[in-house]
Structure 1
Amino acid sequence: MSDPSEPPEMPEIRVDHIGIAVHEVADAEPLLDLLGAEKLVHEEDPTNSFRWAYYLLGDASRVELLEPVADDSSFLTDFLAENGPGMHHVTLEVADMDAAISALEAEDIRVVDRTDYDEWAEAFVSPRNPTGVLWQLMEYHESFSDGRPAPERLYIGGERLSE
């Protein structure tokens, strides 16, 4: 039996990708091409407020470009208006979203905007933390790879942490 005074243990976790906000993927993509990146996915998010393009860079690095779908106000248009193009977030893949959130909250780290989709779950660590970085926590579900590149190309190390 675990000791209730002990904080919950953080599940397996790894850096999945960095997210970069851009006005248009087409304008930023030539640089990624020069760097040798290979586009794996370019699709609209489930909320229809932005598109994301996901790139493989080397054997274990991923970069994501985020572009607004319309000029309507969204987190992304607000970010671009305030900061211009640039790094938006760092995504950490977690093996167990519930356990990761519990471990963070036990240490008074604020986790916000949890959303569970069919293909993945995500939550964000508020940038009002000691690093000042917006951290996205992501747990891939089995169906994430449906209709996307093969898992060995899509995931770091070829498989989801939660497998």
Structure 2
Amino acid sequence: MDTHQTPIRVDHIGIAVESIENAEPILMALGCERLTVEPVEDRFRWAYYRLGDASRLELIEPIEDDTFLTDFLDTNGPGLHHVTLEVADIDAVIESLREHDIRVIDRERFDTWTEAFVSPRNPTGVLFQLMEYHDDYHEKRLPPQDLFINESRVGELFQR
């Protein structure tokens, strides 16, 4: 099977919860360090954690009553929501997936990143979020050592 040659790595694992406050103690007991908590347009709130030197976890809780996250929790309960993969070239990865008849949904470009999702209707049953961070992603956010695995965007590591 031919695949792309684009650098790619796991950025973080997203876990859907009813309450960050109630779920956070288990992450702390595992040795996580909370890096940030942020709301997203009054729909949901996420908290980002570092575990060791190269692992990131994210807790996501609903703020509104009628969102994709409340639907997910109603259907599945708390648990794995998505796996975010940082990619150096999102177009190359999407093309490779489509060549292998894997459905890519909800592609969107934002000011500082581009994302797309691999439908969970695949043999793994997992929702994969593909993220390509733009050069200025870290501006007005945490410093690169807190945001990125190995302190750099995945593409930068392979340009050195």
Which stretches in structure 2 are left out of the alignment for 5+ residues? none
The equivalent residue for 2:154 is: 161
Corresponding residue to 2:64 among 59, 64, 70: 70
Runs of 4+ in 1 over 6 A off after TM superposition: none
Work out the CA distance in 1 between the residues paired with 2:52 and 2:155: 23
The equivalent residue for 1:58 is: 52
Alignment check: 8 A CA contact 1:8 1:99 kept: no
Corresponding residue to 1:15 among 10, 13, 31: 10
Per-residue displacement from partner, 1:9-50 (whole Å, max 9, x unpaired)? 2411001111000111111111111111111121122x4421
Report the TM-score, using the length of structure 2 for normalisation. Answer: 0.91
Q: Secondary structure at the match of 2:137?
A: helix
| Identical-pair percentage | 59
The equivalent residue for 1:117 is: 110
Name the Cα RMSD after superposition: 1.6
Report the TM-score, using the length of structure 1 for normalisation. Answer: 0.89
Per-residue displacement from partner, 1:139-161 (whole Å, max 9, x unpaired)? 11222212322102210111012
Alignment check: 8 A CA contact 1:8 1:106 kept: no
Residue identity matched to 1:137:
L
Question: Which has the larger displacement, 146-155 or 29-38?
Answer: 146-155
Alignment check: 8 A CA contact 1:42 1:51 kept: yes
1:41 matched to 2:62? The reply is: no
